[in-house]
Structures are given as structure tokens and as C-alpha cells.
Structure 1
Amino acid sequence: MSISPLKQAIRKLKTEQRKWATVGQRTPKQVNLWFKWLSPGLFVKRWLLISATGLVLTFLGLAIWVKLTPVNRLLELISQLLQAISNYVPSYISGPLALILGIFLLLWGQSRTVGSITEAFPEGDGELVDRLLAHRRLHRGPKIAAIGGGTGLSTLLRGLKQYSANITAIVTVADDGGSSGRLREEIGVLPPGDIRNCVAALADEEKLLTELFQYRFEAGDGLTGHSFGNLFLTAMTEVMGGDFEKAIAASSKVLAIRGKVLPATLSDVRLWAELDDGRLIEGESRITEAGGKIRHLGCLPANPPALPAALQAIEEADYIVIGPGSLYTSVIPNLLVPEIKEALMKVKVPRIYVCNIMTQPGETEGYTVANHIEAIERICGQGLIDAVLAQRLPPSPYALKRYAQENCHPVFLDREDVVKLGYRIILANVMEEDPNTGKVRHHPQRLARVLLRWYSEK
């Protein structure tokens, strides 16, 4: 059956509308991309202007050098040409046309030049101008020193790296369990586990790198149980002649991380804890397994020297974040290094402690927020922090039931006791909960957003 001319016309009209709609969607995006190059802080416009000025001066100098003295005649010729054009095309038309054409050619030439440069970069990284804008923004971010260890610190770093590239993670090296403990005993390297987590968290390709670094070998004589990241850092230490600090720096450079990761000390530190029942437990992994209430915590050697770069990072920081993480085995071990503790007391910048969401068996059973702060003060002294960040909302009933089976409960905020201790309280919903397992942890982006908002207010 034949289609009527009217229907054919309607179909053709719809096809043209779709075509122009597609063009309309592409054109603003391209124009927007051009104008991004005019954004402040890219250091592009000034160099374009300098280049254009240099080009004009080059031709002018060449003309004078070869004694092309009738430069005035050339200017007169250009003037006459412009006058002739204005006689045929009014200036209010020819002027804007020439201006638009000039801007179009400038932007088009620039975009084609940048396009050629972009082809040399890996695919999927976005437009070059967007990467430059992000690079400038991140490198203008505040200098942040984040102190801790375990999964808590790596979670924090995942969020902070979206706001600043000037991050220094100062990490405990007291771990003596699992793969890190085996490498520590068998090869004599400092435990790489917490360092590995932080390096992966600060990498651009975080998801892939985390999967790679966390991969654990399930077969192989001597390999079973080891993570690839731990072996990578151990091998890099050997390549660097046994220098753990250089090994971390080299690994960070290879992986192009945002910021730096530093051990709190290069000493072979081992933790010990005195429990309320009088027992003396040695070894980070054995402290939590002992199942007692910790009265005091220390380390061997008693006064390990701090890494100079870590002290410098604290002294130059605009903002210091302590935690989150296991109170006695991730956070406080960094503060047992006397020089780090003294540096934290001397600085006059905002210092905040991120309290855990849940209590931990063998470490903080029954602890409130004030109890966490009192433990830090009891072991490390007063004046280390200015404020504490606590979770506002409790986990779901499902999560509470799951954690109760492990004798874990939400850390209660005893507001009056915290205020009596002289600390400001920041309450925020910085938690994320896995709906399947009920596991809770700090949400990297929410946590970083709240921390940076408080910093900007301070």
C-alpha cells in the first residue's frame, strides 16, 4: 500500500528534527569545551597572549632588519582595504563577522592542536582541558596530614584525594600479623600492609589497583596467604637497597598517586599492652586476641625516632586529621613516636579526630566517644586535637543485630563529657552500610566533604 505524500512529509520532518536535535546536542558541548580553555588558573591564556605578541614582534623586527622601512605603506594598504570593505558591507556587520571568524579560527586551531596532544594520552582519561582543570584545582587544595593506619585511613584517603593532591598519609608500622607479619619475620622488612592500602587508595586507578594489591595467592609454596601489594613493596625495598622510604616513594611514583605515603618511623616497632588484669601482651595481633581491657600501651623500642619527612609534613600542614581506625593498634601507635606527638602539639592548625562508628572487641568494648579521647590523652597527653567528628545516625536494626553477635555496638556520644574535656563536637552522617551484609564503615566522600567543610569554616 502506498504511503500518502502527507505522511512522507511528516516522516521527513521528524527525521530532520532528530538530526538537528543531535547536532544541537553536540554543538553546545564542543563550544563549552572551547570556552573551558578560558577558565582562570589553567595558565594557558597568558602563554597564548605572549606567543601572539612574540609572533607580531618577530615579523616587525624582521621587517626593520631587512630595511622594509615602508611599514607605514603596508598599514595604509590595510587601512584602504578595510575602508573599501566597509563601503560595500556596513561596519556593524563586517566588524562582528570578522570578530566571530577570528575567535572561531583561534579556538578551532587551539582545539585541533590540543586534540593532537591528547592522542598521546591513554584513552578513557577524559578531555585534556578537564584533566588540566582538575590538576590545578587539586594542587591548590590544602596541605593535609592524615595520621592512622588500617582500613580506616585508606577509606579517609579515598575521599580526601577528590579535594586535594597535597595529602600526606603518616602510617603506623607496628603490624605483625598475617602477610605483613610473615614478611617482617622472614625477610626483615617493615610491615607493608597498611602502607599498601594507603598507596592503593591514593592512586588514580584506585579500583583496579586495589583489586590487584589486595589479591592474595591461594597456592604456591611460600606464596599462600601473601598479598600481591605486600610482595610488590617488599621487592621494591630490595631494589632500593633495603631503604623502605625510597621504596614507598618509588612505588608511589610508578603508580602516580595523589599525595605521599610515609611510615611514622623506620624503626622495627613492636607494640605491648598492659591489661587491667595485670597481663602484659606483646605484639599488635596478640593484643586484640587477648580479650582484656587495655590500661596502657607502649612500644619497643620505647622512643623510636620519627621519619624526618613525616615531621616536615606535620609542620607544613594546613589541616591535620587523626583516624579513623582501630584506636590502640592503628591510631595511637603513631602517637607513641615522641617527635610526632610533640610536632602535633606545636602546630597551630585545625586538628580533628575522627571517632570510630562501632566499638571493637579486644580494644574498645563499651567505649564512648569521650572514652576514645581519654585513651589518647592517657597515653599521649593532652593538646593533640581540637575537635572530634562523630557519627550522627545509628546503623539499621539489621546491622545492629549482626554486630551484637560479635559484641560490637555503636560508639555512644556522651556530649557533656566530651565538652567537659574541652573539645568541639562535629556531628554528621558519614556512614555507609552494606544492605546485604550489614557491615558499616565511613563513607569516603561524605567523610571528606564534612572534614573539608569544617576546615573551610576554621
Structure 2
Amino acid sequence: MPGSLTCLGGGHGLFQTLRAGRHLDIDRITAVVTVADDGGSSGRIRKELGQIPPGDLRMALAALSRDSDEGRLWEETLQHRFGGYGALAGHAVGNLLIAGLTDVLGSQVQALDAVAALTQSHGRVLPVCEQPLEIEAEVAGLGDEPMSVRPVRGQVAVASTTGNVRRVRLFPENPPGGSDAIAAILSADMVTLGPGSWFTSVIPHILVPDITRALTETDACRVVILNLTAEPGETAGFSTERHIHMLTQHAPELRVDHILIDATTITSEVERRYLARAAATIGADVTFEPVRADDGNGGWVNRHDPVKLASALQRVYTRHVSAEPRR
């Protein structure tokens, strides 16, 4: 059983991974979260206050809230959005709480720790970088020429594009990684990357050189959790293999130990061999585990099941520590 787990990602994918971590007997869980959101409540706070967008950070805090009546109340409160048509319409309570505490304490990391104390959190939530970031994508197929490539800037615009994303970059380029986030990666027993929106929640982490360096240097069991399906917009039409190629394209120096994928996603032996070959380029093997949630009626939904994912991560970790050292 890993003593500490550090999870990199953002949005709903990170939420499910953190929920899985809560089902493991772990001393410390840390979320390292993307900070490039520019839409909705987060975008408004970012624009008006110049702070790191708090939305994905808030979701991670909600995922880690204590499993008690008080913890569940805090989770619901953090996620609650104001209705109506006034100045508060659409704002999440947790976003405003994080923004207010940041103003009072002068530090977003301290603000996140303060909210974690309120929610009796199972762990810490940290920004991958202690400054707002912006994503720009090279997107093909937006104009009359299907092979022409145009820049699309902003997380919302990239996630919702109707073209084909070829590559993404961050502005500012090569930003410094958060010191606490780096320490959490280096000190962890297991580190996960993904699932989530590949170009806007997963890849941005490895565009921060300090984070990629920490992933390479850590002694942790490093696991990439692949998405269950390609997403409309940014990864439409992507094969599972191509998701891995995108990691190597954006961070050729990246090395991980295991690629975890749902056992029902790829059943063809030929495709599995191709996937294993792609995984080998970043030093990883491929593990197929049943991690997809079911709908209660014999079907499947496009979401990782936290209990199944926890069991899969435990098995991956057990095999990892019993194997010969790989680095």
C-alpha cells in the first residue's frame, strides 16, 4: 500500500482519481492542479483579481472533503453556484472563498490549506504553478484549407474547438513549478497523471519543466491513467496510442512506469501490441484493469469508478514494488 499519493490533473478526471485515493489506506494525498482555466467563474476571478483560476482547485478540495456530515456539507457548499442574473450569478461559493482567503492571507497556497482545514480534507491541493497560465493550441481544419494550422488561445477555446489539435504550448513559456507541488512529486510513493482533458488538463503539467524534471527524478511509482474515450473537440478521433504519442511529443524526456487503461477499452491483441510499443517509448508497461463505472443496468458510463480505480492502483503499486528496480 503506498503511503503517499500525488495526483496530477484537473477537472472531473482529477476528481475521480482523488476519490479513488480516498478508498486506499494512504497517509497523505496531494492534488497538483492545472491553472489555465479562463472560463466561467474562474475566468472572471482570474480577470478581475489577477489570481490563479480557482475552479479546478475547488473541485479537488471538494473531492478530498472528509466523509462525514460536516465534510459532505462543505463539499456541497464549495460546489454550490449562485443562480439569478446579478453579479454573483454563476460563481461557485468555493471559488469566492479561495479568492477571498488569497486576498486576506496573501498566498493562494495558504488559502487552499485554510480551506482544506475547514473541510477536514484527506490531503492538500496545490497549483502546478503559482501564477495563471494560458494555453495556446495549433489547430488544423478550421479554415477552408483542411491542412492549414491556426493558433487558438485559451483553455475554453481549445477544449471546444471543432478543428484537430496538433500541439499546445503555455504562456508564459517554461513557467516555474510550484515548490510545494515539486516536493509532493519527489516525496510520493505513487504519482498519477490523468485522466482528463488531454490537452488542457493533462499535458499542461509536462509543459512545466520543473514538474517534468520531478516526474523523471522521483522514486515514486509513476502511473498515467488513460481516458476511457476520445473527447469531442480537442481529441476527437484520437486512438489510445495517439494519446501516449502526444505525451512524448510534448515532453520527450518524460519517463513513467505504467500506463493504466480500462480492460474493456481495447480488446484487440493487435491494438494492445501497438499500445505496448507506444508505452515503451516513455519507459512504461501497459496494465489493463476494469475501471469503468457501470450504469446499474448492465451498461457502462464514460467515467472511472473510484472503487475500481483504487483497486487497480493498488494492484499496479503492489506489482511495481515487487518487481526489479527499473531506474
2:132 is paired with a residue whose SS is coil
Letter of the 2:158 partner, please give it: I
Q: Indicate the residue corresponding to 2:144 in structure 1.
A: none
Asked whether the equivalents of residues 62 and 79 of structure 2 are also in contact (C-alpha less than 8 Å), the reply is no
Asked whether the equivalents of residues 292 and 300 of structure 2 are also in contact (C-alpha less than 8 Å), the reply is no
Is structure 2 residue 109 aligned with structure 1 residue 245? yes
Q: TM-score, normalised by structure 1?
A: 0.63
- Which of 68, 71, 91 is the equivalent residue of 1:226? 91
Where in structure 1 are there 5+ consecutive unaligned residues? 1-139, 395-409
Letter of the 2:183 partner, please give it: Q
Cα deviation, residue 439, structure 1: 4.2
Cα deviation, residue 425, structure 1: 1.3
CA RMSD, 1 decimal: 2.1
Cα 1:448–1:372 shift into 2, 3 Å: same
Letter of the 2:111 partner, please give it: A
2:227 is paired with a residue whose SS is coil
Cα deviation, residue 286, structure 1: 0.5
Alignment deviations for residues 390-432 of structure 1 (CA, whole Å, 9 cap, x no partner): 11125xxxxxxxxxxxxxxx99993112222313111111111
Is structure 2 residue 25 aligned with structure 1 residue 160? no
Q: TM-score, normalised by structure 2?
A: 0.87
Asked whether the equivalents of residues 368 and 411 of structure 1 are also in contact (C-alpha less than 8 Å), the reply is no
Q: Indicate the residue corresponding to 2:165 in structure 1.
A: 294
Tell me which moved more, 321-330 or 220-229: 220-229
Distance in structure 2 (CA, Å) of the matches to 1:267 and 1:311: 15
Higher strand share goes to which structure? 2
Q: Indicate the residue corresponding to 1:6 in structure 2.
A: none
1:221 is paired with a residue whose SS is coil
Q: Indicate the residue corresponding to 1:208 in structure 2.
A: 73
Letter of the 1:292 partner, please give it: G
Q: Percent identity?
A: 35
Cα 1:452–1:182 shift into 2, 3 Å: same
Distance in structure 1 (CA, Å) of the matches to 2:273 and 2:159: 29
Q: Indicate the residue corresponding to 1:426 in structure 2.
A: 287
Distance in structure 2 (CA, Å) of the matches to 1:418 and 1:393: 14
Cα deviation, residue 381, structure 1: 1.6
Alignment deviations for residues 424-452 of structure 1 (CA, whole Å, 9 cap, x no partner): 11111111134599742000111011101
Asked whether the equivalents of residues 141 and 166 of structure 1 are also in contact (C-alpha less than 8 Å), the reply is no
Where in structure 2 are there 5+ consecutive unaligned residues? 141-147, 321-327
Higher helix share goes to which structure? 1
- Which of 193, 207, 222 is the equivalent residue of 2:55? 193
1:363 is paired with a residue whose SS is coil
Q: Indicate the residue corresponding to 1:60 in structure 2.
A: none
Cα deviation, residue 169, structure 1: 0.9
1:320 is paired with a residue whose SS is strand
Matches within 5 A, 1:5-404: 141-163=2-24, 164-205=26-67, 207-219=72-84, 221-241=86-106, 243-276=107-140, 277-393=148-264
Is structure 2 residue 276 aligned with structure 1 residue 415? no
Letter of the 2:28 partner, please give it: N
Alignment deviations for residues 347-389 of structure 1 (CA, whole Å, 9 cap, x no partner): 2332110000121011111212211110011011244322111
Asked whether the equivalents of residues 367 and 412 of structure 1 are also in contact (C-alpha less than 8 Å), the reply is no
Distance in structure 2 (CA, Å) of the matches to 1:250 and 1:213: 13
Q: Indicate the residue corresponding to 2:318 in structure 1.
A: 456
Distance in structure 1 (CA, Å) of the matches to 2:2 and 2:286: 24
Cα deviation, residue 174, structure 1: 0.6
Bigger relative CO (Cα 8 Å, ≥ 6 apart): 2
Cα deviation, residue 173, structure 1: 0.4
Distance in structure 2 (CA, Å) of the matches to 1:228 and 1:430: 31
Cα deviation, residue 203, structure 1: 1.2
Distance in structure 2 (CA, Å) of the matches to 1:391 and 1:283: 30
Alignment deviations for residues 222-243 of structure 1 (CA, whole Å, 9 cap, x no partner): 01111111111111111213x1
Distance in structure 2 (CA, Å) of the matches to 1:379 and 1:361: 21
Asked whether the equivalents of residues 358 and 411 of structure 1 are also in contact (C-alpha less than 8 Å), the reply is no
